[in-house]
Structure 1
Amino acid sequence: MPNALPAAIDRLRALPKAEVHAHLEGCFDPGLLEQWASQAGTPMPRPREHLFEFEGLADFLHFLDWACSLASTRERLAELSYGYSQRLADAGAGYADVIVNPTHWPAWRARLPDMVDAIDAGLRAAEQDGLPPVGLCVSVLRTQSSDAAAELVDTLVALRHPRVVALSIDGNEAAAGRTGPRFADAFRRAGAAGLRRTVHAGESSGPEGVRDAITLLGADRIDHGVRAIEDPELVALLVDRQIPLGICPTSNLKLGVYARIEDHPIDRLRRAGVAVSINTDDPVLLGASLVDEYALCAKVFGWSDDDLRALARNSVDASFANAEIKARLIHALARW
Structure 2
Amino acid sequence: MTKSAVAQRVDEAWIRALPKAEVHIHLEGSLGLADLLGLAKAAGAQLPFPADRLFGGATAGAGDGAETGLSSFLRFLDWGCGLVATPEQASSLAYRFAARQTASGIRYTDAIVNPGHWGQWTDRVPALFAAFADGFDEARVDGLAEVNTCVSLSRGQSASSARELVEQITESRPPRVVALSIDGDEHRSGPVSHRFAEAFSLARDRGLRRTVHAGESSGPEGVRDALDHLHAERIDHGIRAVEDPALVGRLRDQQIPLGVCPRSNVALGLYPSWEVHPFRHLRQAGVAVTLNTDDPAVLGTSLETDWSVSSQIWGLDRSELRDLARTSVTASFADDDLTNRLLAEIDAIDVSEASENG
TM-score bin (small chain): over 0.9
Within 5 A, what are the aligned runs for 1:168-187? 168-187=181-200
Distance 2:162 2:229 in 1: 15
Q: Which sits farther off after the overlay, 36-45 or 208-217? A: 36-45
| Deviation of the 1:312 alpha carbon | 0.8
Distance 1:183 1:138 in 2: 14
Length, aligned pairs only:
336
Q: In structure 1, what residue type is equivalent to 2:257? A: P
Aligned partner of 1:22 in structure 2 is 25
Q: In structure 1, what residue type is equivalent to 2:9? A: P
1:139 and 2:139 correspond = no
Aligned partner of 2:113 in structure 1 is 100
Determine helix, strand or coil for the equivalent of 2:148: strand
Specify which of 217, 228, 237 is matched with residue 215 of structure 1: 228
RMSD: 1.3
Aligned partner of 2:49 in structure 1 is 46
1:27 touches 1:80 (CA, 8 Å); kept in 2? no
| Deviation of the 1:4 alpha carbon | 4.7
Specify which of 327, 334, 345 is matched with residue 332 of structure 1: 345
Aligned partner of 1:323 in structure 2 is 336
Distance 1:35 1:314 in 2: 37
Residue deviations 1:222-259, cap 9 Å, x none? 11101111111110110111000001111111111111
Specify which of 116, 120, 132 is matched with residue 133 of structure 2: 120
| Deviation of the 1:5 alpha carbon | 2.9
% identical aligned pairs: 49
2:39 touches 2:83 (CA, 8 Å); kept in 1? yes
Distance 1:314 1:28 in 2: 26
Determine helix, strand or coil for the equivalent of 1:264: coil
- The gaps in structure 2 that reach 5 residues or longer are 62-68, 350-358
Distance 1:167 1:181 in 2: 17
Q: In structure 1, what residue type is equivalent to 2:25? A: A
Specify which of 72, 83, 94 is matched with residue 70 of structure 1: 83
Distance 2:214 2:116 in 1: 19
Distance 1:41 1:332 in 2: 47
Determine helix, strand or coil for the equivalent of 1:261: coil
Aligned partner of 2:173 in structure 1 is 160
The 3 A distance-change label for structure 1 pair 162 and 36 is closer
Distance 1:304 1:285 in 2: 28
Specify which of 35, 39, 42 is matched with residue 36 of structure 1: 39
TM-score, scaled relative to structure 1: 0.97
Specify which of 253, 259, 278 is matched with residue 240 of structure 1: 253
Aligned partner of 2:313 in structure 1 is 300
Distance 1:146 1:62 in 2: 22
Residue deviations 1:239-283, cap 9 Å, x none? 111000001111111111111010100000000000000111111
Distance 1:89 1:31 in 2: 18
Aligned partner of 1:130 in structure 2 is 143
- The gaps in structure 1 that reach 5 residues or longer are none
Distance 1:94 1:35 in 2: 27
2:252 touches 2:286 (CA, 8 Å); kept in 1? yes
| Deviation of the 1:38 alpha carbon | 2.5
1:265 and 2:268 correspond = no
Aligned partner of 1:253 in structure 2 is 266
Distance 1:10 1:278 in 2: 17
2:7 touches 2:313 (CA, 8 Å); kept in 1? no
1:198 and 2:211 correspond = yes
1:12 and 2:15 correspond = yes
